[in-house]
Amino acid sequence: MNTQHDELETLLGAGLRDRAADVDGTWVDFPGVRGRATSIRRRRRVAAGVGVAAAVALFAPLAVSVTGVLQSDREDQPAPPAPTELVVRTTLTLEDLERGDDPAIEYFTADGVVLPDGGLHELDSSLQALVPSEVDGGWLAVGPAADEVLELSEDFSETGAMAMSGGLVTNPDRSLAAWSTPTSDGQTLLLHSTTDPDMDREWDFPPTPQVEAVGFAGVGNLLFRTIGQDGSHGIGLASEDGTTTMLEGDYVKAISADPTTGRIAVQTKSRADLSSCSAVLDPTGTTTEWETCDFLLGAFSPDGRHVLASDPVQSGLGMGSLSVLDAATGRLVASFEQPRRGRLMLVGGVAWESDSTIVAGALEGTTTTLLRLGVDGTLEETVEPVENDPNSDLAFYLGQDRRRGF
Amino acid sequence: MEPRANTLTGTGVTMGGSQTTRDAEFSEYMVMRQPSLLRTAYLLTGDRQTAEDLVQTSLAKLYLSWDKVQKRESLDGYVRRILVNEHNSLWRRGWKKREHATGVIPERQHTDAYDDGRRDAVWEVVQTLPRRARAVVVLRYYEQLSEAETADALGISVGTVKSQASRALAALRERTPDHLHPRHLEEDR
């Protein structure tokens, strides 16, 4: 037996050496290697903060505060103290809205994508998300069917594709992206840095239950959910050290995670009348910080101070109202509500634009636009409203990774 | 660019010094080791173009860490570890590439001194192995590393190395035609 084993080892070694003997020569010179090293070093510096600062600046528009004074949302300025009792209530309507700045985040139209700093770029297909890749100057994208992550060149030409299940998630400055992909022997949760490939992480899973990325819970931790073939849900944390931990607790599903504080939003109850309860857990997922049955929670703001919320009853026709809660306490901070009379507004595709502003798709009658909603209760248009064919998709939509949470 | 004569023998590489000296040292090491790294990369990837890209990235990362590698005898192991880990990254392997370029680097015609089918059988088995198992096989049976060294390079346990290697040998046993089996060849001689 051992002899046969040794012979096979010998055969294997000889076969490999024989095959490798075909390959020789040198093809790259020192300047070529040094050039690639320079590129890698630059990306590492970007990852270390240089490029992140630029990204923060890019996605930090000016917003009108409650006092009407223009102030910046830049992270290097101290945030104003939140009012302790004030709840700002605003009626959702397209009537007499002022026109604000264009969205500071990209949005999609039937023709292509509109970038904050570059106007409309026509696309060959209806992409569902677009994330700049500092690594190669290209883009990561989600394909039209939302079942593939695409690798695009700088001019949006497709250069690669990877199967995806459950959707793409990104952190606020989009230096990190994550998704789940099937492999030959199971599935892998992939965390990819768009600025430094050395920061990439992978977690391997068996073929079932299905694993989906949910969000970034603090530095280096990735929140994921599992969906069994019987429909059962689980919630887990994938850690930087390569381990995964399933949360204990009878939760309905994971909703979102806060990259800044590590807090986790989960749905705790789902009732027959379609109402639900939600909770915010501490970063370890072991302690409930607060729970509510008045709202269904959504995404955390980039600075982690607030969390979006909607009606606890989901009708399937979009959100009846949109609220902003204090992420630490659950206190209601701002509420955008339907008018008592007149036409209802359908709000869908909600995304944080900055620490204190939200961009949302809105449809009132046949008119559609993108709104900017401020944590201070302000409401304005960001694009010119258009008439929307009722049989067509909305004329504007936001990237899948940005509107996660609901 | 043809490989230069091997001027670094054994302990010939000296570390440290000025940037110019550093670059010269690295350049010399790179030229000397490039063919060897390319062969290993080719066995890992099965594709010359991908192997070249893999080696270039690995050398670039070695260049960035050149001053951190204190022991010159550790260089080969260090760059080999970069090579296999870079190759095992899903980021590199997960994409189904959309090829737009028409230029194809031709594979060199193989001249096999004893092309009786064994070479193809071995290569077919190696190409069907899962990525990490393939890395184990290449490091163990081509690079001739010990089980412990292979485990260290791949960041896995010795037990995993043993089981991966054992599965690869079992696959080879199953797929090698009977008349080409080592035992039969021995009997024929």
Pairing of strands A332-337, A88-91: parallel
Segment B145-149 mean pLDDT: 92
Predicted confidence at residue A82, as pLDDT, reads 46
Segment A352-373 mean pLDDT: 93
Position A172 in a domain = yes
Last residue of a domain, one of A76, A104, A132: A76
* Residues A195 and A312 reside in one and the same domain: yes
* Residues A246 and A331 reside in one and the same domain: yes
pLDDT band for position A103 (50/70/90)? very high
CA angle A38, A40, A44 (to 5 degrees): 115
* Residues A72 and A191 reside in one and the same domain: no
* Residues A325 and A216 reside in one and the same domain: yes
Q: Which residues of A touch B89 (CB under 8 A)?
A: 197, 200, 202
* Residues A264 and A360 reside in one and the same domain: yes
In angstroms, rounded to a whole number, what is the distance separating the alpha carbons of residues B67 and A70? 50
User: Does B23 sit within 8 Å of A4, measured CB to CB?
Assistant: no
Quote the ipTM score.
Answer: 0.77
| Number of H-type helices and E-type strands within chain B | 9, 1
Alpha-carbon distances of A336 from A59, A116, A343, rounded to whole Å: 23, 25, 15
* Residues A92 and A68 reside in one and the same domain: no
What single letter denotes the amino acid at residue A38? T
Of the listed ranges A63-72, A136-145, A275-284, A383-392, the one predicted with least confidence:
A63-72
* Residues A57 and A192 reside in one and the same domain: no
Position A181 in a domain = yes
Tokens linked to A343: 């036409």
- For residue A353, give how far its alpha carbon lies from the nearest alpha carbon of chain B (Å): 29
* Residues A96 and A19 reside in one and the same domain: no
Indicate which CATH number applies to the domain containing A191: 2.130.10.120
* Residues A67 and A176 reside in one and the same domain: no
Position A115 in a domain = yes
Phi, psi at A327, each rounded to 5°: -65, -25
User: Does B55 sit within 8 Å of A28, measured CB to CB?
Assistant: yes
Question: Chain-wide mean pLDDT for chain A?
Answer: 83
Predicted confidence at residue B153, as pLDDT, reads 85
pLDDT digits (tens, 9 = 90+) for A145-186: 899 999 999 899 998 899 999 999 999 999 999 999 998 889
User: Does B97 sit within 8 Å of A25, measured CB to CB?
Assistant: no
Predicted confidence at residue A314, as pLDDT, reads 60
Specify whether the CB–CB gap between B29 and B75 falls below 8 A: yes
In angstroms, rounded to a whole number, what is the distance separating the alpha carbons of residues A143 and B93? 19
pLDDT band for position A76 (50/70/90)? very low
Q: Is the pLDDT of residue A54 over 50?
A: no
Position A403 in a domain = no
In angstroms, rounded to a whole number, what is the distance separating the alpha carbons of residues A5 and B173? 9
Predicted confidence at residue A2, as pLDDT, reads 61
Predicted confidence at residue B170, as pLDDT, reads 87
Alpha-carbon distances of A70 from A29, A75, A76, A376, rounded to whole Å: 54, 15, 16, 12
* Residues A239 and A364 reside in one and the same domain: yes
Position A239 in a domain = yes
Q: Is the pLDDT of residue B24 over 80?
A: yes
Tokens linked to A310: 């909607």
| Residue A10, domain extent | 3-76
Q: Which residues of B touch A178 (CB under 8 A)?
A: none
* Residues A15 and A149 reside in one and the same domain: no
DSSP A329: T
Position A95 in a domain = yes
Position A48 in a domain = yes
What percent of chain A lies above the pLDDT cut of 90?
A: 51
Predicted confidence at residue A79, as pLDDT, reads 43
Predicted confidence at residue A303, as pLDDT, reads 95
- For residue A130, give how far its alpha carbon lies from the nearest alpha carbon of chain B (Å): 17
What percent of chain B lies above the pLDDT cut of 70?
A: 68
Segment A198-217 mean pLDDT: 91
Disruptive mutation site among B29, B32, B39, B181 for chain A (greatest number of A CBs within 10 Å)? B39
* Residues A70 and A201 reside in one and the same domain: no
Question: How many domains does the structure of chain A reveal?
Answer: 2
- For residue A26, give how far its alpha carbon lies from the nearest alpha carbon of chain B (Å): 6
Higher pLDDT, A63 or A397: A397
Last residue of a domain, one of A32, A52, A76: A76
pLDDT band for position A90 (50/70/90)? very high
Predicted confidence at residue A272, as pLDDT, reads 75
Predicted confidence at residue B105, as pLDDT, reads 40
Position A279 in a domain = yes
Predicted confidence at residue A191, as pLDDT, reads 92
Query: What is the dihedral angle through the alpha carbons of B50, B51, B54, B59, rounded to the nearest 10 degrees?
Result: -150
With an 8 Å Cβ cutoff, is A30 touching chain B? Answer: yes
